[in-house]
Chain A
């Protein structure tokens, strides 16, 4: 992916950009809002990581102007700790996702993958296929090898989210935010319980796992082996 990182704190910027480069992404960096906006409009990025608090021009203003200059890049907004309104404000201004600081690098990478242009076209699809699984998005039905599987509403939401992000790591907090709409993580294993139930319904008793747990990161729906 081609990524633009607009962040004024040099430590965070260095940490994030080297982490992203290590994963094989091309990263451009910018330390202030005006320069970030110029770069974003001049180049064709897949994803822009935008800090909300920036000197000169803040993240929200950049976001509004970005949409004006016609860039197709997806935007992930970084927000201050505990800023509960940031999500609503950011989403209203046109951000594709947001992440509160501080964050784990894996979380950021998973979210960038999720919003990048590769998965964007999925929004217009009506049928999703992952291995034997076939999701009818219009009818909200799922079939495995032609046989319908009955899911609870939340299990359907969960599976749809996994299928839209097939072959990508999906973190627990992504699921809590995008499937449940919660803002802070519960103490109980709510996510694990639901994933476990979904797994028992969509996987065959024998054969390879398709909804895998990625230790320390989250889950991944994938039919590819050895990912």
Chain B
């Protein structure tokens, strides 16, 4: 599949990792160049110094001879077999060569000269020679030099070594970059693939976690937990839509039947009025359900957290207990309240009130008259604990998590009015406040335990 490969290479060339690899290669090349220049200058400097030193020593040796013997000594040195490493020349005061192999008198002091040695091995040989010359007492100039071929060879060697090493570094950096880019790309592609699968409707798709525990794994993990949340929200939404449709059908059907019956059968203004009154009651119950749903949605949207403030929980609960005591008395329910004073929590007073009212109402609503209810607020290690108990029928343990969901009503409660949303709101408010809500058995009856964080 050439196209696929091309696409792949194209993607690789466009990838951020590849751009980084190219940058990295350029950086390597720059480092190699700098290293070369520094070492080259250092080596040259060292070798030239060495060379000058030896030339200076040789020069000292030549001028150590008496002036009259210098020409002879130079001739002898040049005649040595094998020929020595040095070049010598002696010029007279008129710059004419007396003896030696440096043909032209250089300027006094150090200098580098180029000397044509004529054709050798088919081409002209030009020697570069480092020379030192100085005018002596007799007016002649002594010049000692040495061939720079060794230095030039070293130059060439250094240049080629560094060129190849630099090229290798750049190629390695590029290849390494491509490989790294490839491995990063594969993991990014895996995430992109999962995202497209989700966009295509497969909400259960997840990003693979390699288990290496690196940044990509952490990213995959956060994405997966986000997806988990989205999936549960979407499923919840789907469930709620079904439930709403199902739950609203009943009152709306009733209303339709009543209105239809009124149209067909009602003969008097009173009868119409009665039918209208009942229809209004049906609509009101639908509207109540909507209002409760919207309220829960609002709480679950967590916008209310911004308005959190210090709430005097003990005082709030005491007022509620005082408010409900007359109701309990009228229903002949033994009502006990043990409230630790001075407890405060961080939260929304209105919502907390609503939550506690719902719980108290729940106890009143689902138990027969005369059933005892108790409220207890106390401190714990991590904050405070509120327990509301009734001695009614309770909730079977397998149903306890279900009743917190929207529209869930136990069979026993179906006959009495209610939307099945009261405990959902309690759960939403508790969740908003970080309160641990637990439904348990009060032996007999329902025990609702709320653990407030400190």
**Which residues of B have CB within 8 Å of A43?**
none
Expressed in whole angstroms, the minimum distance between the Cβ of B369 and any Cβ of chain A is 12
Which positions 170-197 of chain A face chain B at CB distance < 8 Å? 180-184, 186-190, 193-194, 197
B304 touches A85 (CB 8 A): yes
A186 touches B361 (CB 8 A): yes
A83 to B287, CA, bound (A): 13
A-B interface pairs (CB < 8 A), number: 64
Expressed in whole angstroms, the minimum distance between the Cβ of A223 and any Cβ of chain B is 25
B357 touches A84 (CB 8 A): no
Expressed in whole angstroms, the minimum distance between the Cβ of A140 and any Cβ of chain B is 16
Question: Are A183 and B350 CB-contacts (below 8 A) given A189-B327, A193-B326?
Answer: yes
Residue from the list B303, B326, B353 in contact with A194, Cβ < 8 A: B326
Question: Are A188 and B365 CB-contacts (below 8 A) given A81-B294, A193-B330?
Answer: yes
Which positions 103-153 of chain A face chain B at CB distance < 8 Å? 152-153
The reply to whether the CB of A82 lies closer than 8 angstroms to some CB of chain B is yes
Indicate the member of B291, B324, B418 with the most A CB atoms within 10 Å.
B291
Which positions 280-306 of chain B face chain A at CB distance < 8 Å? 287, 290-295, 298-299, 303-304
Which positions 2-25 of chain A face chain B at CB distance < 8 Å? none
The reply to whether the CB of B61 lies closer than 8 angstroms to some CB of chain A is no
A183 touches B354 (CB 8 A): yes
A153 touches B354 (CB 8 A): no
A85 touches B298 (CB 8 A): yes
A187 to B361, CA, bound (A): 7
A182 touches B353 (CB 8 A): yes
The reply to whether the CB of B117 lies closer than 8 angstroms to some CB of chain A is no
Residue from the list B299, B323, B354, B417 in contact with A154, Cβ < 8 A: B323
Number of interface residues of A (CB under 8 A): 24
B327 touches A193 (CB 8 A): yes
A184 touches B361 (CB 8 A): no
The reply to whether the CB of B364 lies closer than 8 angstroms to some CB of chain A is yes
A102 to B290, CA, bound (A): 11
A152 to B324, CA, bound (A): 13
The reply to whether the CB of B211 lies closer than 8 angstroms to some CB of chain A is no
> Closest B-chain residue to A190, C-beta based?
B327
**Which residues of B have CB within 8 Å of A190?**
323-324, 327
A153 to B319, CA, bound (A): 9
The reply to whether the CB of B82 lies closer than 8 angstroms to some CB of chain A is no
The reply to whether the CB of B109 lies closer than 8 angstroms to some CB of chain A is no
13 pairs of residues in contact across A and B, judged by CB atoms under 8 Å: A81-B290, A82-B290, A82-B294, A83-B294, A83-B298, A85-B303, A102-B287, A154-B323, A183-B295, A184-B354, A190-B324, A190-B327, A194-B326
Q: A100-B291, A186-B357, A193-B330 are in contact. List 12 more A-B contacts (CB 8 A).
A: A82-B290, A82-B291, A82-B295, A83-B294, A88-B307, A152-B322, A181-B350, A182-B353, A183-B354, A189-B327, A194-B323, A194-B326
State the A residues within 8 Å of B (CB). 81-85, 88, 100, 102, 152-154, 180-184, 186-190, 193-194, 197
